[in-house]
Each structure stands twice: as structure tokens, then as C-alpha cells.
């Protein structure tokens, strides 16, 4: 499928394009480290978010604890700076053979989609580490930007609406990531551009999986909530932002 065809549904879903001011800043050589480091963290956060959904909504405590243990080497590398990143390639062994709780009507579908997402996000995490090593970019701790938090603070507090909102937010994060990779690709060197293009297909599918789950689980039509978060997301992306990160707004 041509990139334009792949991106059309993404561009239709998002309420605004990434501002040119962000692209100009993101493609300056001196800003490559912050883009790569934040991209790395975003991949881990995406895996953690999907893992949280499985643990909270789809499996019992024993399975949830096993999942946490499996994710630990990836988190330890980032949060404690311990371990060799090259060893992580052999640790991405999660499978869909997790048994959902008997009282979770949508548990298996949630597990199936989120396990695939987690495996892909952690594969991308490892690929970003490889690129950082190639480009001589050393990992350092950075503060999170306002983007995800700015949407999650509007998530409803009762179920299943809270889960539906979280899934819609996940869809917007994945869709925006896809759009930004496509925007960056023509302005960076071939190695990095090819990598960004290679991510488009999975990121595009992730946003669709999140939306499909949201509608499956909801006991109502989700169009209004999708529009609500779409307007919120567009405001975060297009308004001035003092922080500069992968998902930040218009640089000031």
C-alpha cells in the first residue's frame, strides 16, 4: 500500500496537521538527540499503557504480576540505567496465550490486540536504541511533555466509559505518532527516514485497534467522545508549547 493511501485515514482522523514550526525545529541537527530520546520513551510508555489495560481489565493478579516481571528489563534500563540494551532483543517473548478473567466479556480481544501492540512497541524501542547507538546519542532523563497528560486528565472516572476514553486517547497518540513519522521522514537522512517510514504501517494499525476496541466495549456510540478528544488533541498540537518533544505543540 502506498504511503499516501496508508496516511489518508490518519489525516482524516486527526483534526489538524503538525505545524511547520514543529517540523522545522525537529529536523535541526542539534535537536536529533531529544527527538530520539523522547521517541524511545514514547515506545516504552505505549507498551506500559497497553500492559496496564491488560492487567486492569483482562487478567487476574497472578497473570498481571507475570506481565510486570516480563516488562521489568525494559523499564530497568530506562529508569535505573541498569543492564545492556543489546540483551533486550532476546526478552521480547510475550505471547497471546494469557487467559482472560472469566468475568471479562471483552478480555480475549483486548489481550490479542494489546499483546501484539506491546511486542511491536518494544521492538521499536530496541530499534531506536540501535539508532541512538549508531548516531552516538546517549540516553538521558527528560521531563514528559503536556500531550498525553493533557488528554488523560479528561478521561471519565466510571466504567466502562473510563476504559473507552483511555482507548480513544491511545488511538490519537498512535495516529499522531504515525503522522509525525511521515512528516519527519523526507527531512532527515536516509537511515532515519527509512526507519520512520517502516513504522507507519504498525502505528496506523494500532490506532485502528484502539478505536475498534473502544466501540466494541462501549455501550453507546463513541463518535461524540472521539470528537471531544480530537478537538483536545488538535489544541495541544497546534497551540504554543514551551517544551519541545516528539508530541509537543507549536514551539515558542
pLDDT tens per residue across span 84-116:
888 887 766 655 455 556 566 777 888 888 888
Average confidence score pLDDT of the chain? 90
CB 204 within 8 Å of CB 147: no
- Exposure on the CB side of residue 157, measured as CA atoms within 13 A: 1
Q: What's the pLDDT score for residue 98?
A: 57
Contacts of 195 by beta carbon, 8 Å cutoff, 6+ apart: 127, 131
C-alpha dist (Å) from residue 120 to 54, 86, 114, 126, 174 = 16, 17, 10, 10, 12
DSSP H helical segments within the chain, as ranges?
3-13, 20-26, 32-57, 61-79, 107-135, 147-152, 161-184, 190-217, 223-238
Q: pLDDT value at position 103?
A: 65
pLDDT for 176: 97
| pLDDT confidence tier of residue 71, bands split at 50, 70 and 90 | confident
Whole-number pLDDT of residue 87: 82
Average pLDDT value for residue range 121-143: 94
pTM, entire model: 0.92
- Non-local (6+) Cβ contacts of 197 within 8 A are 3, 181, 182, 185
* pLDDT score, position 93: 65
Q: Contact 77/40 with Cβ under 8 angstroms? A: no
Span 141-155, average pLDDT? 95
Orientation of helix 32-57 relative to helix 161-184, angle to 10°: 160
pLDDT digits (tens, 9 = 90+) for 201-252: 888 888 999 999 999 999 899 999 999 999 999 999 999 999 999 999 999 9
Residue 47: per-residue pLDDT? 93
Amino acid at each position: 500500500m502506498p504511503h499516501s493511501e496508508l496516511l489518508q485515514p490518519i489525516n482524516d482522523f486527526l483534526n489538524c496537521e503538525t505545524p511547520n514550526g514543529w517540523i522545522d525545529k525537529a529536523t535541526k541537527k542539534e535537536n536529533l538527540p531529544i527527538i530520539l530520546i523522547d521517541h524511545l520513551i514514547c515506545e516504552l510508555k505505549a507498551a506500559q499503557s497497553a500492559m496496564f489495560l491488560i492487567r486492569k481489565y483482562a487478567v487476574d493478579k497472578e497473570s498481571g504480576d507475570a506481565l510486570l516481571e516480563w516488562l521489568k528489563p525494559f523499564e530497568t534500563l530506562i529508569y535505573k540505567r541498569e543492564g545492556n540494551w543489546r540483551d533486550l532483543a532476546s526478552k521480547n517473548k510475550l505471547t497471546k496465550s494469557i487467559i482472560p478473567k472469566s468475568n471479562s466479556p471483552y478480555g480475549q480481544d483486548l489481550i490479542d490486540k494489546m499483546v501484539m501492540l506491546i511486542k511491536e512497541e518494544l521492538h521499536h524501542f530496541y530499534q531506536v536504541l540501535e539508532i541512538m547507538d549508531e548516531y552516538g546519542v546517549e540516553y538521558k532523563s527528560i521531563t514528559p511533555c503536556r500531550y498525553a497528560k493533557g488528554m488523560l486528565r479528561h478521561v471519565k472516572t466510571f466504567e466502562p466509559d473510563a476504559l473507552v476514553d483511555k482507548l480513544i486517547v491511545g488511538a490519537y497518540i498512535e495516529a499522531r505518532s504515525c503522522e509525525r513519522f511521515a512528516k519527519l521522514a523526507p527531512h532527515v537522512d536516509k537511515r532515519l527516514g527509512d526507519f520512520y517510514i517502516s513504522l507507519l504501517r504498525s502505528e496506523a494499525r494500532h490506532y485502528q485497534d484502539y478505536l475498534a476496541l473502544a466501540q466494541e466495549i462501549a455501550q453507546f456510540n463513541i463518535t461524540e467522545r472521539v470528537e471531544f478528544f480530537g478537538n483536545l488533541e488538535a489544541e495541544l498540537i497546534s497551540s504554543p508549547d514551551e517544551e519541545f518533544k516528539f508530541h509537543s505543540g507549536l514551539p515558542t
